[in-house]
Structure 1
Amino acid sequence: MIDDGEIVSIEETETTSDAIVLPAFVNAHTHLGDSIAKEAGGGLSLEELVAPPDGLKHRLLGAASRDDLVDGMRRSLQFMQSTGTGTTIEFREGGVEGVEMLRDAAGNVDLEPVILGRETVDAMEIADGFGASGANDADFDRERTATAEAGKLFGIHAGEVDESDINAALDLDPDFVVHMVHPEPVHLERIDDSEVPIVVCPRSNVVTDVGRPPIEELAARTSLALGTDNVMTNSPSMFREMAFTAKLFDLPAREVLRMATLNGAKIAGLDRGVVEEGRPAKLLVLDGDSDNLAGAQDVVRAVVRRAGQGDVKRLVL
């Protein structure tokens, strides 16, 4: 039972319903600004695609109008909502103006973005935290200190292309790290000691040809969440991210579902991601009798490996 946006009771009872109820997804890492450039730059390296300031992404963003950028982000948010996502953790380029544009884009959408400003402390101050590009790009000590003093979220990319920026990123004591494709044993030990959460984006890593994160090794040391990364290169569908992860790595389906829900919610500091009394009712309802899901013998495995947008009956936000 739900009352005033809260799960107030869960009762075991017989039902004729085929509905599957689960927590709404948390997409733990997105770059929504490049929604105007889907599938641009095929065949380019990661640096050619997204490295500031001259990567293709940044050139396209610089040439686009504000209205086009806001509309592109709004449409991506709407698509994410239609595919079961209730929250996204967004690394928002463009300083203060970038944060304001995403707020405009989210104005008529139920999905709630957790916005991490980039490039300036001012952007962090009007956002929910700071999202750093990578320790090789700049010295983020000032931004980290200011974010901690503000009691906000600090995330940073690390280990995407190689291992060279991982130690410096971990030295900042971030609230979470994104990618971690190339950790060496010393980095795994540090992750084990600190238990810093890691957001993995395996589809993005494969598309940009940087390698595959050692998800099984990382999962043995800390909690992992899933993100879809740049809209430019991947659809921001958590269904697709879960299925890809479950089929590429040796992880139980229940753990992959946790990566797409509870673990991302914990990173964002949200009291959700699980169907439990007293929790906010942020729920996804699937049609268990859809042509796609009918006959499933293992419901969790079916949700993780084969469910999709066509199975969504309702998103309760």
Structure 2
Amino acid sequence: MSGTRTLEGLVLAGPDFEPIEGRVVVEDGEIAAIEEASVASDDWILPAFVNAHTHIGDSIAKEAGRGLSLDELVAPPDGLKHRLLRETPRDEMVAAMRESVAYMREGGTASFVEFREGGAEGVDRLREAAADSPVEPVILGREEVAAMEAGDGFGASGARDGEFGTERNATREAGKLFGVHAGERDSHDVDGALDLDPDFLVHMVHVEDYQLERVADRGTPVVCCPRSNLVTNVGLPDFDRLNDATTLALGTDNVMLNSPSVFRETEFAAKHSDLDAPTVLRMATRNGARIAGKEYGLVEEGRPAKLQVLDGGNHNLGGARDPVRAVVRRAGVADVREVLL
């Protein structure tokens, strides 16, 4: 984005999303100023989302596998989704992922952290799908070191019995991002995951007290995917307990099971926890951006202008007394007027 652009409305500014009536001045893709002023616009200006855990190759299998267990659905190498991924022609998969990337943009998402199946070829397919979009994928390859080398890091499935040591060492040497699923169906793989010293953990639905102490000591962020956890019947994460221990972010997980709408994820997390609205909105913006290695996620001077503009005066949001709470618990893709990426 080049040149100067001014947005007017209610600005949710800074790390606490303080509502300020006024303007955001954007110059050459950066937030140059936030000006408090009386304006006529009903728009709400807030950071774009970062979806911190996705599997968008699943876009070829939306709502497949009704009634199957977690392992039957997604466990490598022969869960339903993996069989479908192997059977799907490249062009069909790329087109399906391109649609999911476009939907994420419509829903105010600036970036997503993808655990990409299919080795180096899978990484290449996603790069093609996202090539013409301003949405930035952070692609963590799977299954082989070559996928990590082709992508932005490595995304491991649950680490039990010393698994993924080779991949972890190679990722560390490359200076790239390493994430791992842990505590999804039980707590048995949490210690193995922590032994790998990951940059972040995904799920952590089931975690023992001593394991949570290890997380806190290391400061390892956790990405929660509650809608997915509900669908796969593994339970829900203890948001409040996890939040006391570390930094939390949100991910929508498998497109097979859920739409990649961060709005739906924030609503679900807010209504199934005691976390306040600013905490949940940080999970969807700044915290996810930190995991992804991005400098955006806040409306602050000097930050990249990755912003979304909601219609705060429409039938859904008009009359809201607490705009941050309304964004987290009530807003949806249909409320997005514009996305600046």
TM range, smaller chain: over 0.9
Equivalences for residues 44-193 of structure 1 within 5 A? 44-136=68-160, 139-193=163-217
Greater RCO, CA 8 A, separation 6+: 1
CA contact (8 A) 2:161 2:192 kept: no
Q: In structure 2, what is the equivalent of residue 19 of structure 1?
A: 43
Secondary structure at the aligned position of 1:9 is classed as strand
State the shift of 1:256 in Å. 0.4
Provide Cα deviations, 1:200-241, integer angstroms capped at 9, x if missing partner. 000000000001111110000100000000000001000100
**1:216 and 1:223, CA in 2 relative to 1: closer, same or farther beyond 3 A?**
same
Percent identical residues: 64
2:293 corresponds, among 244, 269, 272, to 269
- 1:315 maps to 339
* Residue number among 326, 333, 341 corresponding to 1:302 in the alignment: 326
Q: Which moved more, 1:150-159 or 1:131-140?
A: 131-140
1:192 to partner: Cα distance: 1.4
Question: Partner of 1:208 in structure 2?
Answer: 232
1:286 and 2:310 are equivalent in the alignment: yes
Residue 138 of structure 1: how far off its partner (Å): 6.7
> Whole-Å Cα distance in 2 between the matches of residues 218 and 309 of structure 1?
28
> How far has the Cα of 1:137 moved from its partner?
8.2
Asked if 1:9 is matched to 2:33, the reply is yes
Query: Structure 1 segments of 4 or more deviating over 3 A?
Result: none
> 1 CA distance for matches of 2:255 and 2:302?
34
TM-score, normalised by the number of residues in structure 1: 0.99
User: For 1:243, which of 248, 253, 267 is the aligned residue?
Assistant: 267
Higher strand share: 2
Q: What is residue 220 of structure 1 aligned with on the other side?
A: 244
> CA offset at residue 136 of structure 1?
2.7
Structure 1 residue runs without a partner (length 5+)? none
Q: 1: distance between equivalents of 2:160 and 2:99?
A: 33
Q: Deviations over 1:30-54 (max 9, x none)?
A: 0000101000011110000001111
Q: Distance in 2 between matches of 1:293 and 1:145?
A: 48
Residue aligned with 2:46, SS: strand
Long gaps (5+) in structure 2: 1-24
- Judged with a 3 Å threshold, the aligned counterparts in structure 2 of structure 1 residues 39 and 238 are, in CA distance, closer, same or farther, namely same
Tell me the C-alpha RMSD between the 2 structures: 0.9
